[in-house]
Structure 1
Amino acid sequence: MKSFTIAWKDLHIRLKDRKGFLMMILMPLILTAILGTALSGVMGGEEKLPLTIVGVVVQDQDELATTFVDDVLKSKDMQEFIKVRTVPSEKKAKDWLKKEKIDAGVVIPVKWSGHLKDGQLKDLTLLTDPGKSLQASIVESITTSFTDKVVTMAVSSKVVMEQLASSTPVLTGKLDMRKAAAEIAGQLQEQMKAATNSVSETPIGKRSVSSSQYYAAAMAAMFLLYNITTGAKSLLNERATETLARLLSTPTGRMQIVFGKFLGTFYFAVIQFTIFTLTTHFAFQVDWGKNLMQVAVIGLVYSFTVAGLSMLIAALIREEKTADVIGGIGIQIFAILGGSMLPLSVFPDLMQKAANITPNKWVLTSFIDIMSGTTWNTLLLPVTVLLTIGIISLSIGTVKFKLR
C-alpha cells in the first residue's frame, strides 16, 4: 500500500510540472507531424506511387519505338503511374523538364532497333530532374526492363533459328523453316508482352504502413525512453536531499520505496503513451491498427521496461548530471540505432542486428506489425524480450540501489 502512495506522489509531482509534461507530450507530436508529412511521398501506406509525366521524343517511325510507347508506357497497367506526352525534340524535352511540364524525358534514337537482329539496341537518352529522383527511378526501371527483355528475346530467337536451320528435319525438308520461325517468333512476342509489367506496389503483411504511422510509432518508442532518466533522476534527487533516508525512519521498507518509485515512472509512461496514441489518432488520423488490445499490451509492456531500466540506471550512477548525460547522448544513440530516426531497412545488416539490444527497436517493430495486421504469436517474442529486460533491470536496481 505504501508503494502505491509513493507512486501517486511521484506521479502527482510530474503532472504538476507543466513544462516537463508538455515537453514529453508536445515534442513527439510535433516531430510526428513534421516527419510524417515530409516523408509521405517516399514511404508506403495508403500513399500511391506518384503520377509521373513522361515526355517521349520519337525521332522516326521505328516499330520497336511504337511498341514501347503504345504497349508499355500507355498500357492499362501503367495508366495509374505514367502519363505520356509526345515531345517534338530533345531540346524541347529539356525545356519542358526545366519548366516542370514533364517529370522525366525519354529520347528514342533514330533506327533504335536497327541492329536488334544482332542482339544490340542503341542507347536511349533519359532526361531527369534531380529533385524528382523517385519519378526518374520509375522511368529508368521501365525502360531498362523493356530493353533488357527485347535484347534477350532477340538473342534467344537468333540462337534458336541458327540451331533450327542446321537441324536434320530442316535439311531433309521434313520441317517448314518459315512456319517454324513464325511460331517461334509469335511465342517469344507473347512472352515479352506478358513480362512488360515492371511497376507494381506490394505491401508487406496484410496492409502497408504510411510515413505518419511509422513516425508515430517511432516517436512513441523514442520519447518513452526519456522516462528512464526522469525516473532515475527522481530517485537520485530524493537520495541527495535525504528524502529517502527520512522515509526509512518510518515504517516503510526499502523494497516498498524502490517499488513505489518504479510504479511512479510506470504510471507516467502509461499516461504519456495513452495521450500520445489518442492525440495522433484523432488529430493526425494515424491508424494504429485494427487490434487496439495489441497496441495496449505493447504499450504497457514497454512502459514496464522503461520503468525497470530507470531503476537500473539509478542503481548504477551516483549523480543527476550523469543521468542528464545518459538522457542527452545515450537515448539519442538508442533512438538512432533502434529505428526511431530512420527506418531500420536503410541500415547495413550489422547495424540491424546490433539494433536488437535496444528496447525501442522491439516496440517499434511491434507497432509496425500491429499496424500492418499481425497475430498474437508474432508479438510473443518482442513481449518476452521487453518483459525480460524490465524484470532483470528492476531486480538489479532493487538489489543494488542504495538509499543513502
Structure 2
Amino acid sequence: MRHAWLICLKDLRQRLRDHTALIVAVIAPLALTALIGTALSGSQGFRMRLGIADLDGSPLSHAFVAFVQRPWLKEIIEVHQIASLTAAQAAVEHRDVDCAVVIEQGFANATGDHKSKSIEILGSGDAQFALQGTRALVRDFLQRVAAKRVDQFPIASVTALSPGGSLRMIDFFAASMTVLFLTFAVLSGVRALQSEVDSRTILRLMASPTEATAILAGKFAALMLIGLTQMSVMIAATSILFGTKWGNPLPVAALVATSVLMAIGLTAFLMSLAKNAEQGTALAALVITLLSIVGGQFLPPQGLPDVFETLARLTPNGQAFYGFVDLSAAGSNGSIATIVQPLVFTLVVGVAGIAFAAFRARSALQRIS
C-alpha cells in the first residue's frame, strides 16, 4: 500500500507540472462552454407547454394531473387539458404544445409494466428538452405508483429546471464539455503510463521491491484523483462563472465518481488494444470523438430526431452527460433514483475497462521484467 501511494504522489506531481494538461482539463472546456452556450441561446431558457389527455378519468390519472400542476412547477410547466388522442396529436403538430401526455383508458387498472404502456408521450422533433423532461416526469410518477408513494408530491421529478426557471443552453454545454474533456484529461495520463512501458523506463520501478500490482494500483489511483480534481474544478468554476446549478450534491458526487471511473476504464481499454502509446492515443481520440458526437455532446438537442437521444443513452459518455443534465433539471430535490441508470452504466464500463487494461498491463510488465 505504501509503495502504491508513493507512486500515486509521483504521478500527481508530474501531471501538475504539465501546463497542457491544465488547458485540456479546465481552460478549454470553460472557454467552449461560454462560447457555444452563449452563442446558441444567449443563456435563455424556455417554458414547457405540456398537453394532457386524461382518457382514463380515474383517481390515479387525476393524481398525475395534480402531480404536474404542483405549485412550484406552475412557472415552468404550462398545462393544457386536451380531450382526445386526436386532439393531442393535432396540438403537437400545430405547435400548440411542446409535448402531450395521453393517459389511456384502463391506466388505473393496469399492473407493473402495463402501466407505462398505458401512457403515450407525443412530441415534436424540435422540442427535445421538453421531451426529455416529460419522459422523466412520467417515469418519476410511475416509480412513485410502484412504490405506493403517489401522494408524496414534495419530492421533485426530473423536469426542465435551472437557475432561470428552465434548463439553459449554457447549463447543457457545461455538463457536455465537462464530460468530454474529462475523457481527454484522463487519456493523457493513460498515455503517459503506456509511454513508460514502451520506453521501458518503468523497469526502474520494477527493479525496486515493488510488486506489479502496487505499481498499477498507484498509477490508476493517480488517474482517479486527477479525474476527480478536474470534475470538481469544473463544477465549481461553472457554478461561479455561469451560475450553473448541478443539483443535489450527494447524487452529483456519486455520478462524478462513476464518470471518472468510466473515463479511466474507456481510455485504458482503448489504449490497451494498441501496440504503442502513439497508436493508442490516436485510437482513443478517434473513438472518444465519435462517442461524443453520438452522445450528443457537440449538438444542442433542439431539432434532433428522437433516435439521437436513444443513441446517446447507449454510449458511456452519453449516460454520464445526460445523468448530469437530469440532476441539473431536478434541482436540489434530485436523488440517486434520478440517475440509477447512468450510475450503473458508467460504473460497469469503468470497472470492466480498468480490469481489462490492468490485466494487459500486468502481463506486459511481467514480459519486460
Q: With the length of structure 1 as denominator, give the TM-score of the two structures.
A: 0.58
| Structure 2 partner of 1:196 | none
Q: Is the 8 A contact 1:232 1:323 kept in 2?
A: no
Pick one of 318, 329, 340 that aligns with 1:380: 340
Q: Distance in 2 between matches of 1:259 and 1:348?
A: 43
How many angstroms does 1:273 deviate by? Answer: 0.8
| Structure 2 partner of 1:250 | 208
RMSD (Å), alpha carbons: 2.7
Q: Distance in 2 between matches of 1:257 and 1:347?
A: 46
| Structure 1 partner of 2:103 | none
Q: Distance in 1 between matches of 2:318 and 2:44?
A: 19
Q: Is the 8 A contact 1:231 1:262 kept in 2?
A: no
| Structure 1 partner of 2:170 | 212
How many angstroms does 1:370 deviate by? Answer: 0.7
Pick one of 287, 293, 297 that aligns with 1:336: 293
Pick one of 243, 251, 261 that aligns with 1:294: 251
| Structure 2 partner of 1:14 | 15
Secondary structure of 1:243's counterpart equals coil
How many angstroms does 1:377 deviate by? Answer: 1.3
Q: Deviations over 1:26-56 (max 9, x none)?
A: 10000100111112259735x899xxxxxxx
Pick one of 311, 320, 323 that aligns with 2:280: 323
- Give yes or no for the alignment of 1:39 onto 2:69: no
Secondary structure of 1:342's counterpart equals coil
Structure 2 residue identity aligned to 1:337:
V
Q: Is the 8 A contact 2:270 2:283 kept in 1?
A: no
Structure 2 residue identity aligned to 1:9:
K
User: 5+ residue gaps in structure 2?
Assistant: 50-93, 97-128, 135-157
Q: Is the 8 A contact 2:175 2:325 kept in 1?
A: yes
* Structure 1 residues 232 and 318: CA distance shift in structure 2, 3 A: farther
| Structure 2 partner of 1:73 | none
Pick one of 334, 339, 356 that aligns with 1:396: 356
Q: Distance in 1 between matches of 2:12 and 2:242?
A: 28
Q: Is the 8 A contact 1:229 1:323 kept in 2?
A: no
* Structure 1 residues 42 and 30: CA distance shift in structure 2, 3 A: closer
How many angstroms does 1:255 deviate by? Answer: 1.4
How many angstroms does 1:382 deviate by? Answer: 1.2
Q: Deviations over 1:319-339 (max 9, x none)?
A: 222133134422211111111
- Higher radius of gyration, 1 or 2: 1
Q: Deviations over 1:42-71 (max 9, x none)?
A: 9735x899xxxxxxxxxxxxxxxxxxxxxx
Q: Is the 8 A contact 1:280 1:286 kept in 2?
A: yes
Q: Deviations over 1:117-151 (max 9, x none)?
A: xxxxxxxxxxxxxxxxxxxxxxx857xxxxxxxxx
Q: Is the 8 A contact 1:262 1:308 kept in 2?
A: no
Q: Is the 8 A contact 1:337 1:355 kept in 2?
A: yes
Q: Distance in 2 between matches of 1:22 and 1:316?
A: 27
Pick one of 268, 277, 298 that aligns with 1:311: 268
* Structure 1 residues 283 and 352: CA distance shift in structure 2, 3 A: closer
Aligned counterparts, 1:130-169, within 5 A: none
Q: Deviations over 1:75-100 (max 9, x none)?
A: xxxxxxxxxxxxxxxxxxxxxxxxxx
Higher deviation after alignment, 359-368 or 220-229: 220-229
| Structure 2 partner of 1:362 | 319
Structure 2 residue identity aligned to 1:39:
L
Q: Distance in 2 between matches of 1:253 and 1:282?
A: 44
| Structure 2 partner of 1:224 | 182
How many angstroms does 1:16 deviate by? Answer: 0.7
Structure 2 residue identity aligned to 1:276:
M
Q: Deviations over 1:199-252 (max 9, x none)?
A: xx9764342311111000000111111134213211111112222222112111
| Structure 1 partner of 2:27 | 26
User: 5+ residue gaps in structure 1?
Assistant: 50-139, 143-200
* Structure 1 residues 302 and 20: CA distance shift in structure 2, 3 A: same
Q: Deviations over 1:261-307 (max 9, x none)?
A: 11111111111111111111111111212x12221111111112212
Q: Distance in 2 between matches of 1:141 and 1:349?
A: 17
How many angstroms does 1:316 deviate by? Answer: 1.7
Q: Distance in 2 between matches of 1:358 and 1:3?
A: 32
Higher deviation after alignment, 362-371 or 321-330: 321-330
Percent identity between the aligned chains? 27
Q: Distance in 1 between matches of 2:271 and 2:4?
A: 18
Q: Distance in 2 between matches of 1:141 and 1:302?
A: 37
Aligned counterparts, 1:55-134, within 5 A: none
* Structure 1 residues 357 and 8: CA distance shift in structure 2, 3 A: farther
How many angstroms does 1:375 deviate by? Answer: 2.9
* Corresponding residue pairs, total: 255
Secondary structure of 1:287's counterpart equals coil
Higher deviation after alignment, 209-218 or 372-381: 372-381
Q: Distance in 2 between matches of 1:210 and 1:349?
A: 20
Pick one of 278, 282, 285 that aligns with 2:243: 285
- Give yes or no for the alignment of 1:269 onto 2:227: yes
